[in-house]
Amino acid sequence: MQARVYVTLKKGVLDPQGKTIQRAIENLGHQGLLDVRQGKLFEVEVDNALAREEAVRILNSVAQEILTNPVIETFRVEVE
């Protein structure tokens, strides 16, 4: 079973890395991209022996405990 965890910065948290990328894009002549924010993405291969609900439960707790800094980041879990 394939799953994905998307980790993004919370609204209001500054993202200097994203800002730098946005400026690089502009300097290379691409117009119309007003803001860029960088996040993380985890592709997880889940044991098929697990029930879908159990997989979602485990992924949520792993995302909360390990993959995310809860002070500045938020996450979303997606199981195929």
Closest CB to its own copies among residues 31, 71: 31
Closest to its own copies by CB, 8 or 71:
8
Q: Interface with its own copies includes 52 (CB under 8 A)?
A: no
State which residue, 51 or 71, has the beta carbon closest to its own copies. 51
Size of the site for its own copies (CB under 8 A): 37
Residue 34 structure tokens: 């007003």
- Per CB under 8 A, the list member of 10, 13, 52, 54 interacting with its own copies is 54
The span from the CA of 3 to the CA of 44, in Å, is 5
The rounded distance, in Å, linking the Cα atoms of 21 and 38 is 9
Contact status, residue 19 vs residue 33, Cβ threshold 8 Å: no
